[in-house]
Amino acid sequence: MRLIETRGNDGKKPKEVDFSYAILNPMASFGGLYAPKELPNFGIDFLQKHLNSTYKELAKDVLNSFEIDIEKDLIDQALQRYDQFDDANNPVPVVEVEENLFISELFHGPTRAFKDMALQPFGVILSELAKKRGEKYLILAATSGDTGPATLETFKNKENIKVCCLYPDGGTSDVQRLQMVTEDAPNLEVLGIKGNFDDAQNALKELLASSEFKKILEEKNLKLSAANSVNFGRIIFQTIYHIHSYLELIRRKKINLGDKIYLSVPSGNFGNALGAYYVKKAGLPIEKIIIASNSNNILTEFINTGKYDLRNKKLIHTISPAMDILKSSNIERVLFDKFGAKRTKELMESLNNNLYYELTKEELDEIQSDFMATFTTDDEVMNVIREYLISKNYLMDPHTATNIKAFKEKNEKMLPFVAYSTAEWTKFSPTIAKTLGLNAKNDKEALEAISNKFFKEITPKIIKIFEKKVVNSKIIEKSDIITAVISFL
């Protein structure tokens, strides 16, 4: 596979790169991203071949079809990470919750959120590439709660990789915080910031622009890379489970090969939905991809009107924090795929300079041929959680709950509807306890109250986290971030 740049080439960077180059150096010319030049075919023949495949067999053939420049042994080693999921044979169970509604659970990995689906194998590939090339990398991550734990978990004790993770102190759940501060390995640093997620992210941007910081990286022979979904190395692993979900519906005799289905994706940075877009284009029979949002409904507005408008928009803190976002990075790759580099550069520059862009009518039609969108408020999310627990005995987290309005409003053709569950309820237990009218002072009490009243098992890994020793308890002022990161290096 060759990758090209979403905003065109600046004459300094290579015009086309291999997969390994793109994952080690994720930023392309003019601040753009790398995107595949061509896609494989995941149509009927491919699906037919995998009717009886395990997840890993399917994954291997998906990666093989992309023709990535990674040795077979290393791919095998990366995919072995799915063996640590709850069921190694089926890391992504698909649960039938009511007629036509299938919840595809992406949270059965070590940190109980969908980030593990990609970060687990991605971490193996990135660190092995670095080792082979004799290069050392620093991964910086600002997290609102799920990317941090998954990044630390995948890179702990990896040679040639250092990770520094910034999180807003008080801005994550106890479970998310404990998942980070108890992670004990010499190549990891975790810093709590006195401030919110935006402060953590801004601090990170400031750090990246600082000349003092650049000098120190050079002295230490450290290169920078990124583990967020601007890195195509994550996106490729987020194509597999969409195909898997489709195959599962065939295996259960809910559809025949070739029938169309809907996919609904709780979205923030649009990495999950982008994976769905690529497989749809590659031939998977998908009627529409539905983008589910919370009250930060910029994606709903974009898909319904063609306007991406950040003017007068402020980030709202919701009970589905992993979807609290205004600038959704991976929309850029869809724009590029549909309208080319020249137009993408124009639109992204307009967003940077004017906080606004608008598609033409024809362009909007193109977007709407693949996507629909809807958003759900916190109150509606809480009602959904309560309703589905009580009437269907299915307990979902607040991110997953944003799918239900999509199911009720957008299933226009009454087709089988796959909704992605992106986190286990255990990561957001205080919100759920409150929703269910249970008293709890903290995550631990909330977990126990929910578990006792509704007979829901708490994942052993989550219980154990409360007993683990805290090894990273640094809480620092925003102004001390640069010094703290440098002293870690």
Ligand X SMILES: *Cc1c(COP(=O)(O)O)cnc(C)c1O
Interacting residue ranges for ligand X, rule: CB under 6 A:
113-115, 146, 229, 266-273, 322-323, 399, 422-423
Structure tokens at 302: 């974009």
Closest to ligand X by CB, 269 vs 411, is 269
Closest separation between CB of residue 236 and ligand X, Å?
Answer: 13
Using an 8 Å Cβ cutoff, are 108 and 92 in contact?
yes
Between residues 35 and 255, which has the closer beta carbon with respect to ligand X? Answer: 35
The letter for the amino acid at 181 is V
> Nearest approach, Cβ of 455 to ligand X (angstroms)?
24
Our CA angle for 287, 407, 426, nearest 5°, is: 120
Nearer to ligand X, 158 or 399 (CB): 399
Residue closer to ligand X (CB basis): 152 or 485: 152
Q: How far is the CB of 262 from ligand X (least distance, A)?
A: 17
Q: From the CB of 115, what's the least distance to ligand X, in Å?
A: 5
Q: Which is nearer to ligand X, 129 or 381 (CB)?
A: 381
- The radius of gyration of the chain from alpha carbons, rounded to an integer in Å, stands at 21
Pairing status of strand 222-225 against strand 136-142: parallel
**8 Å CB contact between 249 and 94:** yes
In the complex, what is the shortest distance from the CB of residue 298 to ligand X, in angstroms, rounded to a whole number? 12
- Specify whether the backbone of 160 is left (phi greater than 0), alpha (psi in -120 to 50) or beta: left
Question: 144 CB contacts (<8 Å, ≥6 apart)?
Answer: 167, 168, 171, 172, 197, 321, 322, 324
DSSP 5-52: ETT---SSS-SEEEHHHHHHS-B-GGG-BEEESS----SHHHHHHTTT
Least distance to ligand X, CB of residue 418, Å = 15
> Strand, coil or helix: what is 183?
coil
Residue 222: other Cβ atoms inside 10 A: 16
Quick one: 50 or 115, whose CB is closer to ligand X? 115
- Tracing tokens 């194509």 back to the chain, one arrives at 239
Token pair of 66, please?
A: 């992309």
CB of 67 to ligand X, least distance (A): 24
Instruction: Count the Cβ atoms, other than its own, within 10 Å of residue 42.
Output: 24
Nearest CB to ligand X, comparing residues 268 and 416: 268
